């Protein structure tokens, strides 16, 4: 996945930078990298004052899933208009693979 298209986005273009910045502040503590670079964000849809995110974890047994989801909600709540509803959906298809990681993240991991 190229760094230009790290996740699918459908919504107002003026919100995209705010959303990306907020999601890049969410760190997966197991790998010490942000969830965008790790490739955990699959898709974001913004419509009618609601943001829906499809995110995954590197494994179904991830012990920090709740921490990451809570941090996603917190960071988006800080970045977006106060009336925006935030919905985070944990998905497992397609399964996460290291190919979803950014070049920077793969370099950090030594891959």
User: To 10 degrees, what angle do helices 65-79 and 16-24 make?
Assistant: 140
Asked if residue 105 is part of any domain, the answer here is no
Residue 55 near residue 65, CB atoms below 8 Å: no
In the chain, how long is the greatest CA-to-CA distance? 42
Asked if residue 28 is part of any domain, the answer here is yes
Q: What is the pLDDT of residues 3-23, one digit of tens each?
A: 456 899 999 999 999 999 999
Rounded to an integer, what distance in angstroms lies between the CA atom of residue 99 and that of residue 19? Answer: 22
Asked if residue 107 is part of any domain, the answer here is no
- The domain in which residue 54 lies consists of 3-100
> Can you give the CATH number for the domain in which 91 is found?
3.30.300.130
Asked if residue 82 is part of any domain, the answer here is yes
More confident residue, 77 or 30: 77
pTM for the whole structure: 0.92
Number of domains in the chain: 1
Q: What is the pLDDT of residues 54-97, one digit of tens each?
A: 999 999 888 999 999 999 999 999 999 999 999 999 999 999 99
Q: Report the number of secondary-structure helices (H) and strands (E) in the chain.
A: 4, 6
Asked if residue 108 is part of any domain, the answer here is no
Rounded to an integer, what distance in angstroms lies between the CA atom of residue 25 and that of residue 33? Answer: 9
């Amino acid at each position: 996945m190229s760094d230009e298209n790290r996740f699918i986005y459908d919504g107002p273009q003026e919100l995209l930078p705010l959303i990306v910045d907020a999601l890049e502040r969410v760190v997966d503590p197991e790998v010490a990298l942000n969830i965008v670079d790790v490739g955990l964000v699959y898709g974001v849809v913004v419509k009618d004052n609601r943001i829906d995110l499809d995110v995954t974890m590197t494994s179904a047994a991830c012990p920090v899933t709740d921490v990451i989801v809570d941090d996603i909600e917190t960071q988006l709540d800080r970045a977006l208009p106060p009336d925006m509803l935030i919905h985070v959906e944990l998905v497992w298809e397609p399964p996460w693979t290291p190919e979803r990681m950014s070049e920077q993240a793969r370099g950090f991991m030594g891959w």
